[in-house]
A and B are shown apart, each in its own frame.
Chain A
Protein backbone atom coordinates (compact mmCIF):
# COMPACT_ATOMS: atom_id res chain seq x y z
CA UNK A 1 0.00 0.00 0.00
CA UNK A 2 2.68 2.47 1.03
CA UNK A 3 4.67 1.62 -2.11
CA UNK A 4 1.67 2.86 -4.08
CA UNK A 5 1.52 6.09 -2.04
CA UNK A 6 -1.75 5.22 -0.36
CA UNK A 7 -2.18 7.78 2.43
CA UNK A 8 -5.84 7.30 3.36
CA UNK A 9 -6.87 3.96 4.86
CA UNK A 10 -10.60 3.79 5.52
CA UNK A 11 -12.41 0.96 7.23
CA UNK A 12 -15.24 -0.26 9.37
CA UNK A 13 -13.50 -2.32 12.06
CA UNK A 14 -13.16 -5.95 10.98
CA UNK A 15 -11.22 -8.96 12.24
CA UNK A 16 -10.11 -9.92 8.72
CA UNK A 17 -8.41 -6.57 8.20
CA UNK A 18 -7.21 -6.06 11.80
CA UNK A 19 -3.49 -6.20 10.99
CA UNK A 20 -3.70 -3.67 8.15
CA UNK A 21 -5.89 -1.39 10.28
CA UNK A 22 -3.32 -1.51 13.11
CA UNK A 23 -0.53 -0.70 10.64
CA UNK A 24 -2.49 2.31 9.39
CA UNK A 25 -3.00 3.57 12.94
CA UNK A 26 0.73 3.27 13.68
CA UNK A 27 1.92 4.96 10.45
CA UNK A 28 2.30 8.72 10.99
CA UNK A 29 2.16 9.36 7.23
CA UNK A 30 -1.22 7.68 6.83
CA UNK A 31 -4.66 8.93 7.75
CA UNK A 32 -6.40 6.03 9.48
CA UNK A 33 -10.10 6.65 9.00
CA UNK A 34 -12.71 4.70 10.95
CA UNK A 35 -16.04 4.96 9.13
CA UNK A 36 -19.56 4.68 10.48
CA UNK A 37 -20.64 2.91 7.28
CA UNK A 38 -18.71 1.62 4.31
CA UNK A 39 -20.13 3.93 1.64
CA UNK A 40 -18.42 6.86 3.36
CA UNK A 41 -15.18 5.23 2.25
CA UNK A 42 -16.29 5.23 -1.38
CA UNK A 43 -17.04 8.96 -1.23
CA UNK A 44 -13.76 9.52 0.64
CA UNK A 45 -11.78 7.80 -2.12
CA UNK A 46 -13.40 10.07 -4.72
CA UNK A 47 -12.54 13.16 -2.67
CA UNK A 48 -8.99 11.93 -2.14
CA UNK A 49 -8.57 11.59 -5.89
CA UNK A 50 -9.87 15.12 -6.47
CA UNK A 51 -7.09 16.27 -4.14
CA UNK A 52 -4.45 13.96 -5.68
CA UNK A 53 -4.24 11.48 -2.80
CA UNK A 54 -4.80 7.72 -2.83
CA UNK A 55 -7.17 5.82 -0.60
CA UNK A 56 -7.98 2.21 0.13
CA UNK A 57 -11.27 0.95 1.56
CA UNK A 58 -11.17 -2.13 3.80
CA UNK A 59 -14.49 -3.82 4.43
CA UNK A 60 -16.34 -7.03 5.02
CA UNK A 61 -18.60 -8.50 2.34
CA UNK A 62 -21.72 -7.24 4.13
CA UNK A 63 -20.39 -3.70 3.70
CA UNK A 64 -20.42 -4.06 -0.07
CA UNK A 65 -24.20 -3.84 0.04
CA UNK A 66 -23.97 -0.47 1.80
CA UNK A 67 -21.82 0.92 -1.01
CA UNK A 68 -23.97 0.26 -4.06
CA UNK A 69 -25.45 3.68 -4.81
CA UNK A 70 -22.19 5.52 -4.07
CA UNK A 71 -20.49 3.31 -6.66
CA UNK A 72 -22.45 5.38 -9.22
CA UNK A 73 -20.08 8.20 -8.34
CA UNK A 74 -17.05 6.05 -9.15
CA UNK A 75 -18.50 4.58 -12.33
CA UNK A 76 -19.96 7.77 -13.81
CA UNK A 77 -17.12 9.96 -12.61
CA UNK A 78 -14.44 7.40 -13.55
CA UNK A 79 -12.86 7.72 -10.14
CA UNK A 80 -10.24 5.13 -9.13
CA UNK A 81 -11.31 2.85 -6.27
CA UNK A 82 -9.27 0.21 -4.47
CA UNK A 83 -11.10 -1.94 -1.97
CA UNK A 84 -10.13 -5.09 -0.09
CA UNK A 85 -13.12 -7.19 0.91
CA UNK A 86 -12.89 -9.90 3.57
CA UNK A 87 -15.52 -12.41 2.52
CA UNK A 88 -18.23 -14.01 4.60
CA UNK A 89 -21.22 -15.96 3.40
CA UNK A 90 -19.41 -18.35 1.11
CA UNK A 91 -17.01 -21.35 1.56
CA UNK A 92 -17.88 -23.04 4.86
CA UNK A 93 -20.07 -20.25 6.26
CA UNK A 94 -22.05 -21.26 9.35
CA UNK A 95 -23.94 -18.02 9.98
CA UNK A 96 -27.10 -17.83 7.86
CA UNK A 97 -27.20 -14.02 8.16
CA UNK A 98 -24.00 -13.72 6.13
CA UNK A 99 -25.09 -15.84 3.18
CA UNK A 100 -27.28 -13.51 1.11
CA UNK A 101 -24.85 -10.60 0.92
CA UNK A 102 -21.80 -12.85 0.65
CA UNK A 103 -23.24 -14.55 -2.40
CA UNK A 104 -24.26 -11.20 -3.92
CA UNK A 105 -20.87 -9.49 -3.59
CA UNK A 106 -19.42 -10.33 -6.98
CA UNK A 107 -22.57 -9.79 -9.10
CA UNK A 108 -23.35 -6.53 -7.30
CA UNK A 109 -19.83 -5.14 -7.65
CA UNK A 110 -19.59 -6.20 -11.29
CA UNK A 111 -22.98 -4.66 -12.05
CA UNK A 112 -21.60 -1.35 -10.75
CA UNK A 113 -18.44 -1.57 -12.85
CA UNK A 114 -16.04 -2.82 -10.15
CA UNK A 115 -13.53 -5.46 -11.31
CA UNK A 116 -13.26 -8.37 -8.83
CA UNK A 117 -10.01 -10.25 -8.19
CA UNK A 118 -10.44 -13.29 -5.95
CA UNK A 119 -7.71 -14.64 -3.68
CA UNK A 120 -7.82 -18.21 -2.33
CA UNK A 121 -4.11 -18.89 -1.57
CA UNK A 122 -1.96 -17.00 0.97
CA UNK A 123 0.94 -16.60 -1.47
CA UNK A 124 -1.39 -14.83 -3.93
CA UNK A 125 -2.43 -12.02 -1.55
CA UNK A 126 0.57 -9.77 -2.13
CA UNK A 127 0.74 -10.14 -5.93
CA UNK A 128 -3.04 -9.69 -6.27
CA UNK A 129 -3.15 -6.53 -4.15
CA UNK A 130 -0.17 -5.24 -6.12
CA UNK A 131 -1.94 -6.00 -9.41
CA UNK A 132 -5.14 -4.35 -8.18
CA UNK A 133 -3.30 -1.20 -7.04
CA UNK A 134 -1.68 -0.88 -10.46
CA UNK A 135 -5.04 -1.31 -12.20
CA UNK A 136 -6.57 1.33 -9.92
CA UNK A 137 -3.89 3.98 -9.64
CA UNK A 138 -2.22 3.64 -13.06
CA UNK A 139 -5.19 2.67 -15.20
CA UNK A 140 -7.96 4.47 -13.28
CA UNK A 141 -10.21 1.48 -12.56
CA UNK A 142 -12.38 0.44 -9.65
CA UNK A 143 -11.07 -2.90 -8.35
CA UNK A 144 -12.10 -5.10 -5.42
CA UNK A 145 -9.78 -7.78 -4.06
CA UNK A 146 -11.99 -10.49 -2.56
CA UNK A 147 -10.22 -12.25 0.31
CA UNK A 148 -12.20 -15.48 0.25
CA UNK A 149 -13.06 -17.81 3.10
CA UNK A 150 -10.84 -20.44 1.49
CA UNK A 151 -8.05 -17.99 2.32
CA UNK A 152 -9.10 -16.55 5.67
CA UNK A 153 -11.20 -19.45 6.93
CA UNK A 154 -14.77 -19.59 8.12
CA UNK A 155 -15.58 -18.18 11.56
CA UNK A 156 -16.53 -20.93 13.98
CA UNK A 157 -19.89 -20.62 15.77
Chain B
Protein backbone atom coordinates (compact mmCIF):
# COMPACT_ATOMS: atom_id res chain seq x y z
CA UNK B 1 0.00 0.00 0.00
CA UNK B 2 1.38 3.36 -1.00
CA UNK B 3 1.89 5.86 1.78
CA UNK B 4 0.35 9.17 0.91
CA UNK B 5 2.24 12.22 2.09
CA UNK B 6 -0.46 14.52 3.42
CA UNK B 7 1.92 17.01 5.02
CA UNK B 8 0.89 20.48 4.04
CA UNK B 9 4.11 22.16 3.05
CA UNK B 10 2.38 24.85 1.05
CA UNK B 11 1.00 26.79 4.02
CA UNK B 12 1.74 30.48 3.75
CA UNK B 13 2.78 32.38 6.85
CA UNK B 14 3.11 35.86 5.37
CA UNK B 15 0.46 38.20 6.76
CA UNK B 16 1.55 40.68 9.43
CA UNK B 17 -0.45 40.01 12.59
CA UNK B 18 -0.41 43.68 13.57
CA UNK B 19 -2.53 44.54 10.52
CA UNK B 20 -4.22 41.18 9.79
CA UNK B 21 -5.80 40.71 13.23
CA UNK B 22 -7.52 44.13 13.22
CA UNK B 23 -8.61 43.55 9.61
CA UNK B 24 -10.26 40.21 10.31
CA UNK B 25 -11.95 41.28 13.54
CA UNK B 26 -13.14 44.75 12.55
CA UNK B 27 -15.07 46.67 15.21
CA UNK B 28 -14.28 44.75 18.39
CA UNK B 29 -17.30 46.27 20.14
CA UNK B 30 -19.52 43.89 18.18
CA UNK B 31 -18.19 40.99 20.29
CA UNK B 32 -17.70 39.71 23.78
CA UNK B 33 -14.14 38.43 23.53
CA UNK B 34 -12.26 35.69 25.36
CA UNK B 35 -8.58 35.53 24.50
CA UNK B 36 -6.09 32.82 25.30
CA UNK B 37 -2.61 33.53 26.50
CA UNK B 38 0.60 34.82 24.90
CA UNK B 39 0.74 36.67 21.57
CA UNK B 40 -2.99 36.49 20.90
CA UNK B 41 -3.81 38.23 24.16
CA UNK B 42 -1.44 41.04 23.21
CA UNK B 43 -3.10 41.29 19.77
CA UNK B 44 -6.50 41.58 21.41
CA UNK B 45 -5.48 43.97 24.18
CA UNK B 46 -3.84 46.23 21.62
CA UNK B 47 -6.83 46.09 19.26
CA UNK B 48 -9.36 46.91 21.98
CA UNK B 49 -7.12 49.13 24.14
CA UNK B 50 -7.72 46.46 26.80
CA UNK B 51 -11.46 47.16 26.85
CA UNK B 52 -14.04 45.74 29.25
CA UNK B 53 -15.54 43.45 26.57
CA UNK B 54 -12.28 41.45 26.63
CA UNK B 55 -11.16 38.73 29.05
CA UNK B 56 -7.50 37.84 28.51
CA UNK B 57 -5.49 35.04 30.04
CA UNK B 58 -1.83 34.61 30.79
CA UNK B 59 -2.07 30.99 31.89
CA UNK B 60 -4.54 28.07 31.87
CA UNK B 61 -3.29 27.29 28.36
CA UNK B 62 -6.06 25.69 26.32
CA UNK B 63 -8.95 27.25 28.27
CA UNK B 64 -10.06 29.98 25.87
CA UNK B 65 -12.35 27.87 23.69
CA UNK B 66 -14.14 26.24 26.64
CA UNK B 67 -14.55 29.58 28.33
CA UNK B 68 -15.97 31.07 25.15
CA UNK B 69 -18.50 28.24 24.95
CA UNK B 70 -19.74 28.87 28.49
CA UNK B 71 -20.04 32.58 27.75
CA UNK B 72 -21.81 32.03 24.41
CA UNK B 73 -24.39 29.71 26.01
CA UNK B 74 -24.90 32.21 28.84
CA UNK B 75 -25.35 35.21 26.53
CA UNK B 76 -27.25 33.93 23.48
CA UNK B 77 -28.11 37.45 22.31
CA UNK B 78 -24.48 38.58 22.08
CA UNK B 79 -21.85 37.42 19.63
CA UNK B 80 -18.88 35.82 21.37
CA UNK B 81 -15.42 35.70 19.81
CA UNK B 82 -12.68 33.40 21.02
CA UNK B 83 -9.19 34.49 20.01
CA UNK B 84 -6.56 31.82 20.41
CA UNK B 85 -3.19 30.81 19.01
CA UNK B 86 -1.96 27.65 17.31
CA UNK B 87 -0.04 26.51 20.40
CA UNK B 88 -2.97 27.09 22.72
CA UNK B 89 -5.54 25.47 20.45
CA UNK B 90 -3.37 22.38 19.96
CA UNK B 91 -3.30 21.91 23.73
CA UNK B 92 -7.06 21.35 23.90
CA UNK B 93 -8.17 20.81 20.34
CA UNK B 94 -10.90 18.42 21.47
CA UNK B 95 -12.93 21.41 22.66
CA UNK B 96 -13.70 22.10 18.99
CA UNK B 97 -15.66 18.83 19.00
CA UNK B 98 -17.54 19.84 22.15
CA UNK B 99 -18.41 23.19 20.55
CA UNK B 100 -19.44 21.61 17.25
CA UNK B 101 -21.88 19.26 19.00
CA UNK B 102 -23.48 22.13 20.96
CA UNK B 103 -23.42 24.41 17.89
CA UNK B 104 -24.08 27.73 19.61
CA UNK B 105 -25.20 30.17 16.89
CA UNK B 106 -23.30 33.09 18.44
CA UNK B 107 -19.77 31.72 18.86
CA UNK B 108 -16.88 32.39 16.49
CA UNK B 109 -13.27 31.36 16.88
CA UNK B 110 -10.22 32.97 15.32
CA UNK B 111 -6.91 31.16 15.66
CA UNK B 112 -3.91 33.41 15.04
CA UNK B 113 -1.56 30.77 13.67
CA UNK B 114 2.08 31.83 13.32
CA UNK B 115 3.46 28.30 13.41
CA UNK B 116 5.57 28.97 16.49
CA UNK B 117 5.50 29.07 20.27
CA UNK B 118 6.46 32.74 20.35
CA UNK B 119 6.16 33.26 24.08
CA UNK B 120 8.80 30.65 24.91
CA UNK B 121 11.36 31.68 22.32
CA UNK B 122 9.90 30.80 18.91
CA UNK B 123 10.11 27.04 18.85
CA UNK B 124 8.23 25.53 15.88
CA UNK B 125 4.67 24.40 16.60
CA UNK B 126 2.99 21.48 14.85
CA UNK B 127 1.40 23.83 12.31
CA UNK B 128 4.89 24.55 10.94
CA UNK B 129 5.29 20.83 10.48
CA UNK B 130 2.26 20.02 8.37
CA UNK B 131 -0.58 20.06 10.90
CA UNK B 132 -3.61 21.89 9.52
CA UNK B 133 -5.92 23.29 12.18
CA UNK B 134 -8.74 24.00 9.74
CA UNK B 135 -8.77 20.32 8.73
CA UNK B 136 -8.85 19.34 12.40
CA UNK B 137 -11.77 21.72 12.94
CA UNK B 138 -13.62 20.21 9.97
CA UNK B 139 -13.02 16.76 11.41
CA UNK B 140 -14.36 17.97 14.75
CA UNK B 141 -17.61 18.95 13.04
CA UNK B 142 -17.18 22.71 12.65
CA UNK B 143 -19.31 23.52 9.62
CA UNK B 144 -18.09 27.05 8.86
CA UNK B 145 -14.31 27.12 8.51
CA UNK B 146 -11.72 28.98 6.54
CA UNK B 147 -8.00 29.61 6.36
CA UNK B 148 -6.92 33.19 5.75
CA UNK B 149 -3.33 33.48 4.61
CA UNK B 150 -3.40 36.21 1.95
CA UNK B 151 -4.56 39.83 1.95
CA UNK B 152 -7.40 39.12 -0.46
CA UNK B 153 -8.91 36.56 1.96
CA UNK B 154 -9.17 38.91 4.94
CA UNK B 155 -12.58 40.25 4.01
CA UNK B 156 -14.17 36.80 3.70
CA UNK B 157 -12.60 35.77 7.00
CA UNK B 158 -14.02 38.86 8.70
CA UNK B 159 -17.44 38.08 7.24
CA UNK B 160 -17.40 34.50 8.51
CA UNK B 161 -16.51 35.59 12.05
CA UNK B 162 -19.40 38.01 12.36
CA UNK B 163 -22.14 36.78 10.07
CA UNK B 164 -22.21 33.01 10.36
CA UNK B 165 -25.27 31.49 11.96
CA UNK B 166 -23.51 28.74 13.82
CA UNK B 167 -20.07 28.01 15.12
CA UNK B 168 -17.41 29.37 12.82
CA UNK B 169 -13.69 28.87 12.84
CA UNK B 170 -11.08 30.95 11.06
CA UNK B 171 -7.38 30.15 10.96
CA UNK B 172 -5.48 33.38 10.41
CA UNK B 173 -1.98 32.49 9.25
CA UNK B 174 0.56 35.19 10.08
CA UNK B 175 4.32 35.49 10.03
CA UNK B 176 6.23 34.80 13.25
CA UNK B 177 6.95 38.40 14.13
CA UNK B 178 6.36 39.92 17.55
CA UNK B 179 2.80 40.81 18.60
CA UNK B 180 2.12 44.39 19.72
CA UNK B 181 3.92 45.27 22.97
CA UNK B 182 0.84 46.11 25.01
CA UNK B 183 0.76 46.13 28.84
CA UNK B 184 -2.69 44.75 29.61
CA UNK B 185 -4.45 44.11 32.90
CA UNK B 186 -2.81 40.90 34.14
CA UNK B 187 -4.82 40.37 37.34
CA UNK B 188 -7.33 37.60 36.51
CA UNK B 189 -9.87 38.51 39.16
CA UNK B 190 -9.81 42.23 38.33
CA UNK B 191 -10.33 41.31 34.67
CA UNK B 192 -13.34 39.16 35.66
CA UNK B 193 -14.89 41.99 37.68
CA UNK B 194 -14.26 44.49 34.88
CA UNK B 195 -15.87 42.21 32.28
CA UNK B 196 -18.95 41.41 34.36
CA UNK B 197 -19.42 44.99 35.51
CA UNK B 198 -19.50 46.23 31.92
CA UNK B 199 -21.80 43.44 30.70
CA UNK B 200 -24.17 43.11 33.63
CA UNK B 201 -23.82 46.51 35.26
CA UNK B 202 -22.84 44.77 38.50
CA UNK B 203 -19.78 42.72 39.49
Contacts and interface: CB of A to CB of B under 8 A. Distances in A.
Interface stretch (B3-11, B20-28, B94-102, B174-182): B94-102
B70 A46 contact: yes
B73 A48 contact: yes
Interface residues of A, number: 32
Interface string A115-156: 000000000000000000000000000000000000000000
A40 B60 contact: no
A49 B202 CA distance: 12
A48 B72 CA distance: 8
Contacts of B191: 77
A77 B188 contact: yes
A35 B196 CA distance: 25
Interface string B50-89: 0000010101111111111111111100100000000000
B196 A50 contact: yes
Contact of A43 (B65, B74, B188, B200): B65
A78 B34 CA distance: 17
B171 interface: no
Given A69-B60, A73-B59, A78-B188, 10 more contacts: A36-B98, A40-B92, A44-B66, A44-B69, A47-B74, A49-B192, A50-B192, A53-B74, A70-B63, A79-B192
6 contacts: A7-B74, A37-B92, A44-B67, A47-B72, A49-B192, A50-B199
